Amino acid sequence: MLEKADHEPRVGSQARSGDLDGCREQFGSTARRAGHTISEVGEQFIVRAAVPADLEPVAAICAHYVTTTVTTFEEIPPTAVDWRRRLDDLARRNLPFLVADQDGTVCGYAYASPWRPKPAYRYTVEDTVYVSPAHTGRGLGRALLSAVLAGCEQAGCRQVIAVIADTGSDASGELHRRLGFTPAGRLHRAGYKHGRWIDTVLMQRELGAHT
């Protein structure tokens, strides 16, 4: 769906273990600034770096979309153990994995992951954003995606790709357009789930300056 480094590290490069806490702290600082924006809609949320204790609710949010929608092309919900592997992998790559938190309750999550494994794609990432169905319409998706984009730019990423399932709703496309993404193409009938063929819409945003 909606599915990086620091200083000068290349996107997808391996971080030294001693760098990981500093990387998480950096993304958490960006997220806390986004949290002030969320509070303007009348409820106090913060966006912060994900930690292992968040992964059960992250798995539950994901499971809802896997089992009841075609928003994600996953067909078997990832477990908390699967999410721990993803969290650790993204941390090693210095990629942001964030959650929206209200008084200790995880209400949504977002992260950036490598767009493709081939090394020439190392400055390009794909974003993922999901909000708990009980917390949609409150600005969390925008706050999460904004924080992920800020983290990606600080990390030296240059392009962010959104791969959006065409579910008939334009909510995800509108979110991305509001944050500067532009259309980059359409893959027709690229997925088959819940008895229907689904197109995917590609959107793209450039970060920073070309070097």
What are 34-62's pLDDT values in tens digits?
A: 333 344 344 689 999 999 999 999 999 99
Predicted confidence at residue 57, as pLDDT, reads: 98
Predicted confidence at residue 208, as pLDDT, reads: 83
Where do the H-state alpha helices sit in the chain?
20-39, 55-68, 80-92, 140-155, 171-178
Cα R_g (the chain), whole angstroms: 16
Comparing 3-17, 47-61, 181-195, which segment has the lowest mean pLDDT? 3-17
**Phi, psi dihedrals of residue 197, rounded to the nearest 5°:** -85, 140
Predicted confidence at residue 210, as pLDDT, reads: 55
Parallel, antiparallel or unpaired: strands 105-114 and 159-165: unpaired
Parallel, antiparallel or unpaired: strands 97-102 and 46-49: antiparallel
Domain residue ranges in the chain: 17-206
Predicted confidence at residue 16, as pLDDT, reads: 29
Predicted confidence at residue 155, as pLDDT, reads: 85
pTM of full prediction above 0.75:
yes
Token pair of 113, please? Answer: 């992951």
DSSP output for 39-76: HTTTS--EEEE--GGGHHHHHHHHHHHHHH-SSS--SS
CA 163 centroid distance within chain: 11
Instruction: Give the pLDDT band (50/70/90) at residue 171.
Output: very high
Mention every residue, 6+ apart, whose C-beta is less than 8 A from residue 205.
149, 159, 160, 162, 176, 179, 180, 181, 182
What are 58-77's pLDDT values in tens digits?
A: 999 999 999 999 999 999 99
Number of C-alpha atoms within 13 angstroms, CB side, residue 123? Answer: 15
What are 91-109's pLDDT values in tens digits?
A: 999 999 999 999 999 999 9
Backbone dihedral region for residue 104 (phi beyond 0: left; psi -120 to 50: alpha; all else: beta): left
Mention every residue, 6+ apart, whose C-beta is less than 8 A from residue 98.
27, 31, 47, 48, 49, 50, 109, 110, 111, 144, 147, 148, 151
22 or 171, higher pLDDT: 171
Res 129 pLDDT > 60: yes
* CA–CA distance, 127 with 145 (Å, rounded to integer): 8
| Protein fold of 17-206 | Aminopeptidase (3.40.630)
